[in-house]
Amino acid sequence: MVGFLRILAGLALVAIIIVGGLWAVRLAGFGYLLSVSNERVEPVRAEIPFAPLVDMGLSDADNPTKVFRVDMARVEQEFPLSRGDLAGLVPANILAMNQEEVDQLYGRLTAGPIPDGPYLGDLFFPVGDTMESRLDEILGGLKGRIAAEKIETVEGAGRALWKGKMFYRDDRVLRNFIEDFRSLSGLIDDPEALERATVPREGILSWVLPTTDVYLLFPAKLYCGQSLLDGRRESVIIDYAYNDDLPGYQERPDGLAGRNGLRVRDEIRMIRPGFYLGRAYLNKVFLLNFTLWNAEVAEAGLTDSAEGAPVAEDCWAGEQVRHAALQ
Amino acid sequence: MGRVRLLAVVLCLLIALFPRIGSAQSVLSPEFAETNSIYTPTEAAGREIWMFATAFNDRFFTYTYPQRLGAAIDWYEVLAAGRRGDLFEAWGAIPDPDCCLPGDPDCPARSADQTYGFMWCPGDDDLLSFVGREGYVDPACGFEDAPFDAGTPHGAVDQRQNACDLRFGTSTGALGLRKFPNPRFDPVNWEEIGGWEGYAAFMAGDPADPDSRANRLMDGSVEPPFRIGMACGACHIAYNPLNPPEDPSAPEWENIDALVGNQYSRISNLLGNGMSQHRLEWQLIARARPGVVDTSALPMDFVSNPGTMNAIINFARRPLFEHQVLKWRKVAACEAGADPDVCWCEPEREGKCWEKSLQSEMVPQILKGGEDSIGFEEAIQRVYFNIGSCAEQCWINHVVDLRAADPAQRNYGQTPFDIGQCRRDCGSFRAIEDRLIDIKNFFLTARPSDLWQARGLESPRDLEIALDGEFFDGAVEEGRVVFAENCARCHSSQENPGVDTDFLAVEADDPTLRSDWLGSDEVVLASEIGTYGARAMHSNHAPSRVWAEYASLDEKARPADPVRQEVMKGGGRGYMRNISLLSAWAHAPFMHNNAIGPEICGKPGDPEVDFYSSPYVDGNGQVLAEAPGCWAYDPSVAGRYALYLESMNQLLNPDQRVAKMFVLDRDIVIDLAPNVELLGRDLGLSLTIPAGFPAVDVNSLRYKDMIQDLVLIGVDPAKFEAKYAELLTDAQRNELRDGLAEIRSVLLETKTIAAIQLALGHDEAVVDQVEGLTLRVGNDFVQRFYSNILDRVENAGHRFGEGLSERQKQALTAFVATL
């Protein structure tokens, strides 16, 4: 019973509208850090099936403007993704999808194994059915365009600061890594105490310098849990709410992501080994998508997949059979 | 010797190849089995399923409920062995007679450490050994199925879904609540957080600290030793009015009835007891009077409408109505290439198929607004969704995400649950569906609780004599005439009831079965009855809503009530079904929300779990300082009868009723902005809604519509006009547009002021502004256009009979007690 507040939005609506803009500006730069990544990659359209963006068979007499999406179980049943479909996907493909397509892809994935080691990340905000920024679609006109540009700015800032996630699978812990924390130094209690790690480098520079040192911030707990988009099977949850339990936690800045801060919660599902699709929420409000990529695992995974190796699952995979993906 | 060796090898192979068979409740508890012995095999099977089957909802309560829906249950506060004495008084829960306190002389568990603090119940010797590891064989696997019904299109071969999927677990000590070993349990982590107490404890004491409203029940990384599931019995099992226990905290099986409905249950409070009482969810949803629960709070329809757990009695004479029913029906085969949305056969089964078809069918109108009108068995099946079964597999994706504010986003609103998909993708759905006939057969065994029997009298005539002595000579007969002339039009299922009607007639071939349902079961406009209308505005069965497939086509097409002032009132809303007066003496207080009559309350030993708060208000909706007290739970015959008398008095004398309306009994604190320090400034912002604010002003608000409309009038006025073209008159639409424009303007202006004040560090001024605006949700304009229910007084209406003389009222009270 009881979902989160029948009315929180009803009550908080006013508050959000009044103070939301200001706080968003104050906090966006920090909050978005937690989920994002590198330089922008050019989107490439993938040839995988999707259900129609809108279920035209449904309508609501109370709200004729309401958009109905095709039920996720039906998407999976009627537009299954084969293992080959998933093996062909790369992060650039996700960038070419509107939000409904991203959602339909996510719904046709399983959690896969809880990742281990470093994963490079990329982030992107929701794009509407017209492939415009969702804010642009909602607000329209000049205001919409301005909002969309702000989002792009935030996206770029996030990409510049956040580089990926380091998974400590055995400890069920995760930390986010950034290459340079100087822009955040005012937010950090003790910069000297920050943990560091060496991770693979991406891009042309990696030919010369295959690794780079990064700083680890914003610890989170890792567990199998509920997806806030698709309840039919579990996702891997990256939960910052109780990160003050974790070793190395610093109130500033790690508390910003915690239960008394922005209440960040990510969830990820595996597209294929080494490649995960994620969703980031602030206080359970969907904010943006992200991808995680580990080239080494991805390459090994393709080999295993070609040899017909079964996909490992750490989490509850539900009961709807993914016939195509098992082949 | 060789033969012995061969036998040993075969035995070992058998053990290795086949899983251990669990032991169902009828095996685990001889005392329970004894109570089952009066039933036929199908009735007994149905009873056992109804009382113990959770159909896999332990995952729902452990994971989906806190993580996706954002609510939390502190099971230990309810089920700790040491709290057994408060089970009934605090929660209205019925203690399981088979469970014992660890350490008691005859209890197999020597200490609470062995049971993780819970009571020890039959089957726990096996269950406890699987906490923290896989391999548990559920007792349902040992369930003895009733003989297979070979007379259906599914043929003569028993192809029922494996009974393991019924998922019984073992008792928690409270009937209807079942426990399962959690294979993910980590004892080290559990010890670190401090066990059950640490799991639920709030993390700070200072109310100004947001951690004073946070505990670890929302920490999904913590896996408790048990997953708790819920059977239908959790709300429907209660004390037998004919044979109540001497001590309600220590009943025997003979005192327990699985179908009578628990009018003492505080299931709503239980479903929110893991949350701070300063949280929105607690104040607006978890608080409800005993014996009611809002089953449309979870698949949220944005109208708070807790309703009673009705007595399931005399169903063999429940009226049926012709409806246009589009549903799945059993068939032996589907044509090759058939559309699976129309005809579907279960894989790996022979001839176990269903076809979706539209037929005119005689069906009961089960729910309080006549919903669940596609068949008896389908209505039973849907109860399992109310308790969380198959949530992940089939229905959580169809319910509203309360935080999704973008209309293009999935879960912005409801979508219709798909019965065919659920059958395909949830084994527990099939396990229940394949045994619905057993549950239905069990339902049909229940009979009314006659007061003459409850008092140990010899006959109905003896009761009449006693009541005449209590009221006045001839009271019962005079009351019968009053009833026939004033009440029977609605409260009888006989044709043209009148003074010659025998309302107590029984069936010739079964004298335990009443011929008269004592209610027409017809649906009427709630406004005609005048009772609190929130339940009538329930919309989960409307077209495109989550339970749309459980409504007949004609039910969804019922015309809207022209009298109602709410904006959203179509799709079959606005109606209430008449109720049966069978055993009315045992089921007070009255009405669908238990609101007419005294408030009842438990008297737990621990004041922390005393949930009574007075709903009595004055004419201005302010809490009465000197309100009537609550009546202590008393399930004895005398106790029920006394409650009946006073409830009848209030029913027939509406002017004497003191108005009831739930208001917040504590401030609600909403933490809006992060409570962190940044650049020397504390960023924390909290919003407070003061105690005393009417709960319904906020818990029935269509806030998403309001948000959307505030945006639309600014950026897409044409879409706004289109949205309301069919819903509002031109004048109403103009009023709404103008009112929204004013709010929008105030918001934008306030935003600017707030920005300046924040920049100057005047955070408190901003909070004051925000709170002031937030409380405007209670103003007339917002309520008229965005509340799903405009009624406020919960014990209003049903004024029928107020014009009777005092003598007639007494006579009527005497007669109704005989029903």
Q: How confident is the model over B802-811, as pLDDT tens digits?
A: 999 999 999 9
Task: Determine contact: B406 vs chain A, CB below 8 A.
Answer: yes
Q: How confident is the model over A91-134, as pLDDT tens digits?
A: 999 999 999 999 999 999 999 999 999 999 999 999 888 877 77
pLDDT of B24 strictly over 80 = no
State the nearest Cα–Cα gap between B410 and chain A, in angstroms. Answer: 6
pLDDT of A13 strictly over 50 = no
Q: How confident is the model over B139-181, as pLDDT tens digits?
A: 999 999 999 999 999 999 999 999 999 999 999 999 999 999 9
State the nearest Cα–Cα gap between B231 and chain A, in angstroms. Answer: 15
Percent over 70 (pLDDT), chain B:
92
In 3-state terms chain B splits into helix, strand, coil percentages (rounded to 5) of 40, 10, 50
Q: How confident is the model over B282-321, as pLDDT tens digits?
A: 877 788 999 999 988 888 899 999 999 989 999 999 999 9
What pLDDT, on the 0 to 100 scale, is given for residue B251?
A: 97
Q: What is the largest CA-CA distance in chain B?
A: 98
Task: Determine contact: B172 vs chain A, CB below 8 A.
Answer: no
The C-alpha atoms of residue A101 and residue B172 are separated, in whole angstroms, by 44
Buried b (16+ CB within 10 A) or exposed e, B9-40: eeeeeeeeeeeeebbbbbbbbeebbebbeebe
From the list B285, B408, B715, the residue facing A2 with the nearest CB is B285
What pLDDT, on the 0 to 100 scale, is given for residue A8?
A: 36
- R_g of chain A computed on alpha carbons: 20
- Residue B459: both structure tokens together: 């006959």
Q: pLDDT tier at B20 (50, 70, 90 boundaries)? A: very low
> CA torsion sign, B218 to A318 to B351 to B145?
negative
pLDDT of B686 strictly over 80 = no
For residues B386-406, average pLDDT: 94
Contacts of A139 in chain B (CB under 8 A): 711, 715
**Beta strand spans in A157-314 (E):** 164-168, 173-178, 195-200, 211-225, 235-239, 264-272, 275-282, 285-293
Highest mean pLDDT among A205-214, A309-318, B245-254, B673-682: B245-254
Crossing angle of the two packed helices B376-386 and B436-443, in degrees rounded to 10: 100
Of B353, B323, B697, B660, nearest to B521 (Cα)? B323
What pLDDT, on the 0 to 100 scale, is given for residue B774?
A: 65
Q: Which of residues 238-297 of B touch A (CB under 8 A)?
A: 268, 271-272, 280-281, 284-286, 293-295, 297
From the list A64, A77, A285, the residue facing B723 with the nearest CB is A64
State the nearest Cα–Cα gap between A207 and chain B, in angstroms. Answer: 40
Task: Determine contact: B216 vs chain A, CB below 8 A.
Answer: yes
What pLDDT, on the 0 to 100 scale, is given for residue A203?
A: 66
From the list A27, A239, A319, the residue facing B427 with the nearest CB is A319
From the list B216, B671, B773, the residue facing A14 with the nearest CB is B773
The C-alpha atoms of residue A101 and residue A234 are separated, in whole angstroms, by 20
8 A C-beta contact, residue B441 and residue B312? no
Of B208, B221, B353, nearest to B278 (Cα)? B208
What pLDDT, on the 0 to 100 scale, is given for residue B673?
A: 64
- Residue A250: both structure tokens together: 């610093």
- Cα angle A235-A241-A245, degrees, rounded to a multiple of 5: 110
8 A C-beta contact, residue B492 and residue B522? no
Contacts of B705 in chain A (CB under 8 A): 63
- Residue A243: both structure tokens together: 């990160």
- CB contact under 8 Å between B722 and A64, yes or no, is yes
From the list B300, B408, B777, the residue facing A67 with the nearest CB is B408
Q: Which of residues 613-672 of B touch A (CB under 8 A)?
A: 670-672
Percent over 70 (pLDDT), chain A:
83
What pLDDT, on the 0 to 100 scale, is given for residue B744?
A: 86
Per the model's pLDDT, the better-predicted residue between B208 and A24 turns out to be: B208
pLDDT of B580 strictly over 80 = yes
pLDDT of A21 strictly over 70 = no
What pLDDT, on the 0 to 100 scale, is given for residue B250?
A: 97
What pLDDT, on the 0 to 100 scale, is given for residue B681?
A: 59
Q: How confident is the model over B182-225, as pLDDT tens digits?
A: 999 999 999 999 999 999 999 999 988 889 999 999 999 999 99
Q: What is the ipTM of this complex?
A: 0.92
What pLDDT, on the 0 to 100 scale, is given for residue A23?
A: 40
How many interchain CB pairs under 8 A, A with B? 309
| Minimum CA–CA partner of B404 in chain A | A285
User: Which residues lie closer than 8 Å to B802 by C-beta, 6 or more apart?
Assistant: B652, B653, B654, B655
What pLDDT, on the 0 to 100 scale, is given for residue A82?
A: 92
- CB contact under 8 Å between B70 and A65, yes or no, is no
Q: How confident is the model over B727-772, as pLDDT tens digits?
A: 999 999 999 999 999 888 887 777 666 666 666 666 666 667 666 6
Least confident among A139-148, A289-298, B207-216, B757-766: B757-766
pLDDT of B9 strictly over 60 = no
What pLDDT, on the 0 to 100 scale, is given for residue A37?
A: 41
Task: Determine contact: B762 vs chain A, CB below 8 A.
Answer: no
Whether pTM exceeds 0.90: yes
**Amino acid type, A256:** L
Q: What is the mean pLDDT of chain A?
A: 82
- CB contact under 8 Å between A3 and B70, yes or no, is yes
Q: How confident is the model over B464-480, as pLDDT tens digits?
A: 999 999 999 999 999 99
Q: How confident is the model over A33-65, as pLDDT tens digits?
A: 443 344 567 889 999 999 999 999 999 999 999
pLDDT of A3 strictly over 60 = no
- CB contact under 8 Å between B69 and A74, yes or no, is no
The C-alpha atoms of residue B456 and residue B443 are separated, in whole angstroms, by 25
Q: Which residue has the tokens 């892809």?
A: A105
Q: pLDDT tier at A208 (50, 70, 90 boundaries)? A: confident
Contacts of A18 in chain B (CB under 8 A): 747, 750-751, 754, 766, 769-770, 773
Q: Which residue has the tokens 């003569």?
A: B156
8 A C-beta contact, residue B360 and residue B554? no
Q: How confident is the model over B548-572, as pLDDT tens digits?
A: 999 999 999 999 999 999 999 999 9
For residues B648-655, average pLDDT: 98
Q: What is the mean pLDDT of chain B?
A: 92
Please state the domain extents for chain B: 7-142+161-292, 451-487+581-661+795-816, 703-786
- Residue B385: both structure tokens together: 């969704």
Parallel/antiparallel/unpaired status of strands B677-678 and B170-171 = unpaired
For residues A6-19, average pLDDT: 36
What pLDDT, on the 0 to 100 scale, is given for residue A18?
A: 34
Per the model's pLDDT, the better-predicted residue between A1 and B590 turns out to be: B590
Per the model's pLDDT, the better-predicted residue between B266 and A193 turns out to be: B266
For residues B493-519, average pLDDT: 97
In 3-state terms chain A splits into helix, strand, coil percentages (rounded to 5) of 35, 25, 40
- CB contact under 8 Å between A68 and B407, yes or no, is no
